[in-house]
């Protein structure tokens, strides 16, 4: 995860494998086709989480990992950008409800939406950081 290109690949893998998981559960007669992309999604999530750990997005007050000033600024900036994305989705949903366009989804589709919201809200700031941060290895500089 030292180079930006590799991290961007992991971010794309994270969300791409989640979409494949949804497609697997929707179109497969069993759920077996969805297991592999779900596993890949989980591994990608772990990779991004490990890289962004030092930015302390999910750290408790007693955790010895503390971000420095630059990392705290990067963290807050990523969360600010994530806020704009999530709020746009909320406004879109409110607009649909307000115009009387009932969001009619099946039970399975709402389950998928729930897990998509869980994934998005818990990974968006980390993904933005992993996407934008410069290379951290001494060999891979900008």
Partner 1 sequence: MFRTENRMERRRLVIAMYGLYLVTFAGLATANKTVALLALLPAAVSILAFVAVMRFSRAYTLRASPYEAPRPDERQARVRDFAMARSYLILAVIAISCSGLFAAVADDPAWWHAHHRIVSTLSFAVNFLVLSMPEAIIAWNEPDILT
* Footprint on this chain of partner 1 (rule: CB under 8 A): 73, 75-77, 79-80, 82-84, 86-87, 89-91, 93-94, 97-98, 102, 105-107, 109-111, 113-114, 117-118, 121-122, 125
The rounded distance, in Å, linking the Cα atoms of 128 and 142 is 18
26: phi then psi, degrees, rounded to nearest 5: -80, -40
In the complex, minimum distance from the CB of residue 118 to partner 1, in angstroms, rounded to a whole number: 6
Please identify, using beta-carbon distances, which residue of 121 and 137 lies nearer to partner 1.
121
Please identify, using beta-carbon distances, which residue of 35 and 119 lies nearer to partner 1.
119
Please identify, using beta-carbon distances, which residue of 12 and 94 lies nearer to partner 1.
94
In the complex, minimum distance from the CB of residue 5 to partner 1, in angstroms, rounded to a whole number: 26
In the complex, minimum distance from the CB of residue 101 to partner 1, in angstroms, rounded to a whole number: 11
Hey, which bits of 6-123 come out as E strands? none
Residues 93-102 as b or e (16 or more Cβ within 10 Å = b): eeeeeeeeee
In the complex, minimum distance from the CB of residue 24 to partner 1, in angstroms, rounded to a whole number: 19
Cα Rg, the chain, nearest whole Å: 18
Please identify, using beta-carbon distances, which residue of 108 and 140 lies nearer to partner 1.
108
Q: Which of 89, 70, 86 is nearest to 132 (CA)?
A: 70
The rounded distance, in Å, linking the Cα atoms of 139 and 4 is 12
């Amino acid at each position: 995860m030292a180079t930006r290109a590799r991290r961007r690949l992991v971010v794309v893998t994270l969300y791409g494998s989640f979409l494949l998981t949804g497609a697997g559960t929707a179109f497969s007669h069993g759920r077996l086709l969805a297991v592999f992309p779900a596993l890949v999604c989980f591994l990608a999530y772990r990779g991004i989480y490990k890289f962004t750990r030092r930015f302390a997005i999910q750290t408790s007050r007693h955790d010895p990992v503390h971000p420095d000033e630059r990392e705290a600024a990067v963290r807050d900036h990523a969360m600010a950008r994530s806020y704009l994305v999530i709020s746009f989705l909320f406004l879109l949903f409110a607009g649909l409800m307000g115009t009387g366009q009932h969001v009619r989804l099946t039970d399975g589709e709402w389950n998928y939406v729930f897990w998509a919201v869980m994934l998005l809200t818990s990974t968006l700031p980390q993904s933005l950081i992993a996407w934008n941060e410069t290379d951290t290895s001494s060999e891979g500089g900008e």
